[in-house]
Each structure stands twice: as structure tokens, then as C-alpha cells.
Structure 1
């Protein structure tokens, strides 16, 4: 593939993002360099800067894409537990996006596309917890913390032993069922 052809046909941006996602998934975001990504995409070392300007621009594009994918993955979950399962499923299907989306120090926090994508996803999550509990904001934070914490522990292999081959989605459903059951029926002491 020549540089002119890749750039002319508009697939350079996608090729660089795909290469970046591979690097992040295998080596982490610290290993990311535009020069290496250009080499992997078969283009000049300056070509990625045309689309992303710098590393933060590339990571912001990945996070923005991730929020869009997450919003789509959340879909029309029928209940809060289902929404959490979809959140965990997204994290396991898109681990590189998931790593970047929640690392504000790596991103351009004022990027309009990132802000819009993040808000659309958060609105979807907030809407799902609106009827739970006395304080919707606390409900939102609690639900997000449980799903995000489980997904993070899963991706970092901290749940490999406890899961012992059990399906993560089923484990998440059981965990939330136990939590909600315990909250509704606290042990008397």
C-alpha cells in the first residue's frame, strides 16, 4: 500500500486508529507513538499528525469512538442489571477503548466531539437509574461504580481466580442480584 493511496482513499485515519487499538490492547497506552503507528500503517512518520495533530488527539479520537460504541452497546436494556451486563460486555469486547475512555489525563478534555459523546453516554446511564433510590445522582454513581469496577477487575485479570471459568456476565448478574437482595433484606443483628 502506498502512502498516497492510503491517504487519498481516506483510510489512513482508520488504519492509525486500528493500529493504536492493537498497541493499547497488547502493550498499554504508554507504548503508543505516532511514529510507530505511521510505520505500522505504512505511511510517512508525519502523516498521522495530519488527522490527529498529536498523541492526545489520537487518544481523544479513540475515546470519542469508544463512547459512541458504548452508547450503542447499552442499547435498550430492559433493567438496570441488564444495562450493567451490557457495560461489562462492552469492556470485554473493546478493552483498548475502555482503557482510554476513563483516562482524562491522556485526552483533550475540551474536545467538543469527546464532550458530546461522553454526555450522550452518561445521559443514557443516568436515564436508566432515574427511578432507583432516593437520589438519582447517587444511584447513577453506585450503578456505574459496580459495573465499571467489575469490568476493570475483569480486564486486569483480578477476577480470573474468583470466576474460576464462570461466565463473567452471569457472575455479574449474580453479584448484582446478591447486592440488591442484601440491600433489600439486611441481616438482623
Structure 2
């Protein structure tokens, strides 16, 4: 099974069971770029994709989506399943969940985290450029291939050595203030 297929299957399961009311993931846009997708129906899970162009951090959408769900719950109802959102995260994005939890933006039981083992995102991802295999600078320096927080992990994290080359940043530190 591919990562895309696993994400789609988990999305269908979460929505069919009523455990979440929305899954935030990635879909292909009209120009061949990935973009955020909000899936509410199990049949729409087929729209979700995972590839090396999934560059956007989807975590900021969680709080926004939870707030809109809370506004639409009738007074007196506290249906937990309806107040939970699932989100697909890369390792670097998973840290944002911990920050939002520390800031009490939402509680941990309101978010189901679908973690994806990441091999890195390609340079120029999201801008319609061809995948030339070059990773974004942040990914070249990253040794974390497994999210720090998740409820389900998809994919097998690979051991990689981060590049310890910050020469591109040296020119910034050499600038006069």
C-alpha cells in the first residue's frame, strides 16, 4: 500500500465511524500543485494525496476548523465525535500541534493526528516546478523523519543524516546591521 492509499483508508474509517467530522489533508490542485483539502464525506477521501510536494503546514487550519464546528453545534449538544478534527502532518508540522496545545488553542482530544514519515519535500514544491530531486534547505538539515506527536503513523521513517552545512546562512551573518 502507498502512503496516499493509507491516508485515504484512514480518512474513510474516521469519517464512517463518526470519530471526526473533518479530515484536513492534501489534494492536487488545478495547476499540478498540492493544496489543503477538507474532507467531510468518506467518499471524498479519494481526493487526498501524499507526495514530495506536500509542503503546506496544515496545522493552522485545525483551530479554525474546530471553531467553525463549535459554532454549528446546537445548544445543549456536546457530541465529542462532532468536535474532533483529523489532520495529516509531516514531522516539522507536528511541532506546531504541541505549540498550539501549550497555548491552549484546543485540547489534545479534539485533534486526531495522522502522522506521515517524511523523506523530505522537494525544492519549489507547490510552485509547479518539476521534481528534480533537490530537497528544500530545511529538509536537507532535518534529521527528524517521524512526527513528534501522532495517533497513527503512516510510512516507515528512514534514518538520515542531516546536512551540517549552513554556508548559505553565513552570508546573512556577514551583512552589516
TM-score, normalised relative to structure 2: 0.28
Name which one, 1 or 2, has greater alpha-carbon Rg.
1
Which structure's residues are more often strand, by fraction?
2
TM-score, normalised relative to structure 1: 0.27
